[in-house]
Structure 1
Amino acid sequence: MEAIKKSSIILFVFMLFSLFVLLTLVFSGGDYFLRDDSVSSLNEGWEVIDSEVKEEGGRVTLPLSTDTPAGEALILQRELGPDFAAEQTLLIRSSLQDLEVHLDREVLFQQSLTHRQRVTPPIVSLWNLVTIPEDASGRKLTLFLTSPFETMSGEANDILYGSPGSLMMAIIYQYGPGFFVAVLTLLIGLSLVLLPRFIRGIYPREMVYLGYFGVFISLWLISESRMLQFFTGNQFLIGSLAYVMLSIFPIPLILYLKKSITNRYPRVLNAMILAYLINLLLIITLEVTGVLRFFQTLAFSHGLMVLTILISAYILYREVRNHQNREARIFLRSLSVLFLFGFIELFHFYFLDAQQTSQFIRVGLLLFILIQSFDSINRLVGYFKKSYRAEVYEKMAYMDQLTSAPNRMAYNRDLQEFFKHPEKLRDFYLGIFDLNNLKTINDTRGHVTGDEAIIRSYNILHSTFAPYGTCYRIGGDEFSCILPELEKETLKELQEKLDREINTQGKKLSYPLSIAAGYSYYKPNEDKNLEDLIHRADQRMYQDKREKKSIPSV
């Protein structure tokens, strides 16, 4: 029941958040988004030095892609306009390239990542802020872009200029939405990973694998969002995070397939996981030793992913066709969307534009998460219903139907639990009670009145001892109270209170009300088991029963 309460709170918060999002979309009002219009582009009027790649008039416009061989510099040059009479800052994106900026013959900026040494950090794509001094109007600005990779050689991105703050805000405006989707995916993944801590026994642990998938894929999206430099300047982290996450994010999906969907292909799925781990170790080793760079081993991870897609699709298809596996059908539906957009992403990367990455996979991931989340919510609702029914059945199993008191099963369970922990038996009392004259009441007043006498007896016992323990109906006219940590003087007061209550209510009834009572105190040296404690209380109850005079029926 506690787990259901926690899950209900989580579901309620989620519904409130969804309502808030809906209200922001419906009642958006005016557009008061903060924008900085002081950023300008420097994309026109460039000349490619020593190249035939020119437009009419001998000028080109950025972004630009040329056939510059790997290792050779793409040289761009242009004359700066009137805006550069004042100091300006350029924002230049280098795509796995070295960058050198000259003003006339003066070197303003130099960044060299493609070192010749074997053990070097990864070659990374970076945002570069280059300060152009004042009075640069009319002077020649020259850029040298050099990449060791054929795909990135000869590439030149857009160039903006303005103040450093406005340029960084421009990055946020353009790439912030993609970063937001990545962070949202990260939060969803973390919630799936952490949810079992709050919904124990109900939440399917296999869903944790989908959570790890969300975490890994979100870290890849964050690294591809072009905003990682806002949070770290570590070259290795910036240059490796995307490749490492790309190599491991399929592993949680494979584990989910193995643990939650089917257990018929353990060797195949284990081999796939092993292949990803070997691939991860291989690409890191090749990068660190300088044999092959991350960008050059990207085909290894992509090839492994295509193979995984084909094998997973085949396994799911067989599960649906041969075994009518409902879970496989649902998972195949959502995974097909991810597969489709994944193939589109790979095609776009290898055949169209290697710089603009993660555009299509973001859409596929969002749809995958939405479909899978909807399925997860349905599964959780089903688990909640089953759990609720189980708790109701358990409660019924341990509850006396006539008095709604805990029954003998609950009594035995709780008493045994105390004896498992001797430290809880300090000042431990056990009370055994018996309703006198029940047969007389049934014979003279009927069983309805007899049942009423049983209910009344339990209510008296419960109202008397509830602050100090738990009372049970353990038989037809028998009751017991477990009273842990009760002082002897307090017990005497409770006995007197019980006698007063019985006498008070008995005067108002048309039948005799009398309850025999016996108490036993736990003695570590004498009570070797439960039976010793119960037997002593039982004997004292029968002694009390003999001492009390039977009250004749009225």
Structure 2
Amino acid sequence: MGKTAPSDQRRNGIKQIYFVLIIAVIVIFIWLTAVISQTSGLPSVSPEVSANQFQQGWYYLSGGEKHAVEAFPAQVSYEGGEGVFYNVLPETGEGQSLMFSNDYQSVQVYVGETCIYDYGYENLPPLGNLLGNIKCFVPMKEEYSGEEISIHLKMNYWEEKAAIKSVYLDNTSDLIFQMLKSQAGLVLCLILMLLFCVALFACFVWARYKKITEESGVFLNLGLFVFLSAVWIWTDSSLPQLVFKSGIALCVTSFFSFMLLPVPMIGFVEKICAGKTRMFRSFQLMCLLNCAVQSIFYAAGIADYPQMLPVTHLLLAAVIIFIICYLIYDVRNHASYYAKGMLVAIGALTLFSFAALLNFYISRRLDNSLFFRMGFLLFILILGYMSVKMLLSYQEVRTQAAVYQKLAYTDLMTQVNNRSSFEEFIDGLNAEVRSEKNLTFIMLDLNGLKQTNDKYGHKAGDRLLQSAADCIKSAFGEAGTIYRIGGDEFFVAVTREDVNVEERLSYMDERIAEYNRRHSEDPFCLSIARGTASEKEYPDCGIDGLWKKADENMYREKAAFHSSR
């Protein structure tokens, strides 16, 4: 094997350093902004509009005794099949709401003995026990002031304790603003993901338009992965309930998008890897089957999606292990650049996920999902960079192939199509089922080229050939296709009915006469014999017969030219 040139080694080294520096700058920027925004002691520059927390005075009953809730999130053991939190309402009024987070629990809220809110107790969901992950908004009234309020919670699966994260009591508009403000990072992440998704689908459409079929699949799979990720992150938050009424439909959408996430990712990895295996398609089918079976179980009332979540997690873990193992195999056996990039992307996502976990244990008050979202964005950006580079590389190869093909089918001296191109054209016409009779063939032959070569040299003959080609192109360049099929022979195929061949030949003769006037000092002149044959004149000849007729007519004129001298 040949050694890499020193200049190439330096160029590759600079590219690697450049890539590492870009990643380092991105990581440093993310780290700095995260640390500064979370730990700065300076006053906030954003408007101070915050909802009033209603977290004092809560208690629960256990064994007939009151127990104060010391801090939120809070849990209480079931008594009588439910967990209940009690408090006394402060002064309330119209336009206010009690807001608290609820994860898949049935909820009833009582003021005194009156039930003022029911979510999943008496008002049962249409299928199974799935209730979703939502924020409950309980409207308040002025007459509720000073009354006892109780929140009844019941989990239909998973735990034996009722849980509540936090409770707010304020104007509904302030509560909504607080919810939006707390999700600002998530909103920004979703906007970036959707913009990236649009860019990927635009690249897919462009690649399909350019007929880059294989590489278009890379953009399609990555675009679908980003789209499903955005849908999952969005529906798993509390934002959609500001727009959609059904929390259950949002929950089903969240589980669907999560279960389908591996399908486009597997397709993306398959496209970028040099090696191929049926395992890719097998894992995709397993993910689709998992989604279908769980949906059937949910619709039949056998089990809800949260109860079957461990199956999805195990399948997802198997997919990730398979992808990592296959990427390592592809790097070792095929030295795949794109497999290396994919491993880097997975490593970055793992690193940021670990940072999010570490951040959770260091300070539970910080936005623990921030690092994961940043890592996920970096993961997608790396994959996007790889996809664009793959497309540009493929486009470069296609451009080079087009240049080589043009060289293979172009006569270098005259810059018209050569004999190989002509034979493919004739073979294509013979294989084609044609109903229209609109073909005209023109055979052209330089008079006296051999004598010019013998007497004045091949340089003079070459100049005569190039000049003949220029005259033919000036007459038929836009009206037909020109081929050089022999040393001094040219062929023109006219397929348009609106082209007057005789007028074009007359124009060619004018160009020939003009050339001879400009080069009157030359001891030789340019002269071209021609013969035409059209399907209208010879409708039953066929393609080869039509070519032969044009050739015969050309030689008849050539013989007349020589006999007249």
TM interval, short-chain normalised: 0.7 to 0.9
- Of 503, 518, 525, the residue aligned with 1:512 is 525
Residue 544 of structure 1 pairs with residue 553 of structure 2: no
Question: Which shows bigger deviation, 186-195 or 223-232?
Answer: 186-195
Q: 1:346 to 1:34 in 2, by over 3 A?
A: closer
Q: Give 2:180's aligned residue.
A: 172
Aligned length: 512
After superposition, the C-alpha distances for 1:371-421 in whole angstroms (9 at most, x for unaligned) are 222222332232122111111101111111112222222333344445555
Q: Give 1:15's aligned residue.
A: none
Q: Give TM-score scaled by structure 1 length.
A: 0.79
Residue 436 of structure 1 pairs with residue 447 of structure 2: yes
Cα offset for 1:131?
2.1
After superposition, the C-alpha distances for 1:41-67 in whole angstroms (9 at most, x for unaligned) are 233323123159x999x5645x42214
Q: 1:528 to 1:122 in 2, by over 3 A?
A: farther
After superposition, the C-alpha distances for 1:253-297 in whole angstroms (9 at most, x for unaligned) are 33444454265653x555534443343233223322333221121
Query: Are 2:194 and 2:230, in contact at CA under 8 Å, matched by a contact in 1?
Result: yes
Distance 2:509 2:333 in 1: 72
Q: 1:330 to 1:438 in 2, by over 3 A?
A: same
Distance 1:127 1:528 in 2: 82
Distance 2:263 2:122 in 1: 32
After superposition, the C-alpha distances for 1:6-29 in whole angstroms (9 at most, x for unaligned) are xxxxxxxxxxxxxxxx9xx9xxxx
Query: Are 2:104 and 2:133, in contact at CA under 8 Å, matched by a contact in 1?
Result: yes
Distance 1:37 1:419 in 2: 80
Distance 2:476 2:216 in 1: 42
Q: 1:199 to 1:219 in 2, by over 3 A?
A: farther
- Of 65, 80, 101, the residue aligned with 2:74 is 65
Specify every segment of 5 or more residues in structure 2 that has no aligned partner in the other structure, as ranges: 1-25, 30-43
- Residue 522 of structure 1 aligns with an amino acid whose one-letter code is E
Distance 1:513 1:333 in 2: 67
- Of 286, 299, 314, the residue aligned with 2:325 is 314
- Residue 181 of structure 2 aligns with an amino acid whose one-letter code is Y
User: How much is the aligned-residue C-alpha RMSD, in angstroms?
Assistant: 3.9
Distance 1:164 1:547 in 2: 101
Q: 1:274 to 1:324 in 2, by over 3 A?
A: same
Cα offset for 1:517?
1.1
- Residue 98 of structure 1 aligns with an amino acid whose one-letter code is S
Distance 1:466 1:123 in 2: 72
Q: Give 1:377's aligned residue.
A: 388
Cα offset for 1:214?
2.6
Residue 222 of structure 1 pairs with residue 231 of structure 2: no
- Residue 232 of structure 1 aligns with an amino acid whose one-letter code is F
Q: 1:529 to 1:166 in 2, by over 3 A?
A: farther
Residue 154 of structure 1 pairs with residue 162 of structure 2: yes
- Of 259, 281, 286, the residue aligned with 2:292 is 281
Q: Give 1:294's aligned residue.
A: 305
Distance 2:282 2:122 in 1: 36
- Residue 252 of structure 2 aligns with an amino acid whose one-letter code is S
Cα offset for 1:223?
1.6
Query: Are 1:403 and 1:455, in contact at CA under 8 Å, matched by a contact in 2?
Result: yes
Residue 331 of structure 1 pairs with residue 368 of structure 2: no
Distance 2:484 2:249 in 1: 66
Distance 2:45 2:423 in 1: 69
Cα offset for 1:538?
0.7
After superposition, the C-alpha distances for 1:309-356 in whole angstroms (9 at most, x for unaligned) are 33433333344446655544333232233455668889999xx99xx9
Distance 2:455 2:332 in 1: 70
Q: Give 2:544's aligned residue.
A: 531
Query: Are 2:236 and 2:251, in contact at CA under 8 Å, matched by a contact in 1?
Result: no
Q: 1:348 to 1:419 in 2, by over 3 A?
A: farther
Q: How does 1:100-249 map to 2 (within 5 A)?
A: 100-112=108-120, 119-120=127-128, 122-134=130-142, 136-151=144-159, 153-182=161-190, 184-189=192-197, 191-192=199-200, 194-195=204-205, 196-201=207-212, 204-207=215-218, 208-249=220-261
Cα offset for 1:365?
2.3
Cα offset for 1:534?
0.7
Q: Give 2:101's aligned residue.
A: 93
Question: Which shows bigger deviation, 470-479 or 36-45?
Answer: 36-45
Question: Which shows bigger deviation, 230-239 or 397-406?
Answer: 230-239
Q: 1:525 to 1:541 in 2, by over 3 A?
A: closer
After superposition, the C-alpha distances for 1:431-450 in whole angstroms (9 at most, x for unaligned) are 11111111232234332222
Distance 1:551 1:221 in 2: 88
Residue 470 of structure 1 pairs with residue 481 of structure 2: yes
Q: Give 1:449's aligned residue.
A: 460
- Residue 88 of structure 1 aligns with an amino acid whose one-letter code is Q
Question: Which shows bigger deviation, 389-398 or 497-506?
Answer: 497-506
Cα offset for 1:119?
4.2
Distance 2:317 2:527 in 1: 81
Distance 2:233 2:285 in 1: 24
Distance 1:234 1:192 in 2: 31
Question: Which shows bigger deviation, 217-226 or 456-465?
Answer: 217-226
Cα offset for 1:487?
4.7
Q: 1:447 to 1:162 in 2, by over 3 A?
A: farther
Q: Give TM-score scaled by structure 2 length.
A: 0.78
Cα offset for 1:151?
4.3
- Residue 535 of structure 2 aligns with an amino acid whose one-letter code is Y
Q: 1:477 to 1:427 in 2, by over 3 A?
A: same
Query: Are 1:516 and 1:545, in contact at CA under 8 Å, matched by a contact in 2?
Result: yes
Distance 1:69 1:347 in 2: 32
Q: Give 2:421's aligned residue.
A: 410
Q: Give 2:11's aligned residue.
A: none
After superposition, the C-alpha distances for 1:164-200 in whole angstroms (9 at most, x for unaligned) are 4443343333224324424543554565453442342
- Residue 257 of structure 2 aligns with an amino acid whose one-letter code is M
- Residue 229 of structure 1 aligns with an amino acid whose one-letter code is Q
Query: Are 1:96 and 1:152, in contact at CA under 8 Å, matched by a contact in 2?
Result: no
Distance 1:164 1:364 in 2: 34
Three-state SS of the structure 2 residue aligned to 1:308 is helix
Question: Which shows bigger deviation, 130-139 or 373-382?
Answer: 130-139
Query: Are 1:101 and 1:143, in contact at CA under 8 Å, matched by a contact in 2?
Result: yes
Q: Give 1:251's aligned residue.
A: 263
Q: 1:215 to 1:508 in 2, by over 3 A?
A: same
Distance 2:564 2:171 in 1: 100
Q: Give 2:506's aligned residue.
A: 496
User: Which runs of structure 1 show a deviation greater than 6 angstroms over 4 or more consecutive aligned residues?
Assistant: 33-36, 114-118, 342-349
After superposition, the C-alpha distances for 1:426-478 in whole angstroms (9 at most, x for unaligned) are 33211111111112322343322222221111111111122322222222221
Query: Are 2:437 and 2:536, in contact at CA under 8 Å, matched by a contact in 1?
Result: no
Distance 1:116 1:110 in 2: 9
After superposition, the C-alpha distances for 1:27-86 in whole angstroms (9 at most, x for unaligned) are xxxxxx99775552233323123159x999x5645x4221423941232323314xx355
Distance 2:268 2:58 in 1: 54
Distance 1:137 1:189 in 2: 49
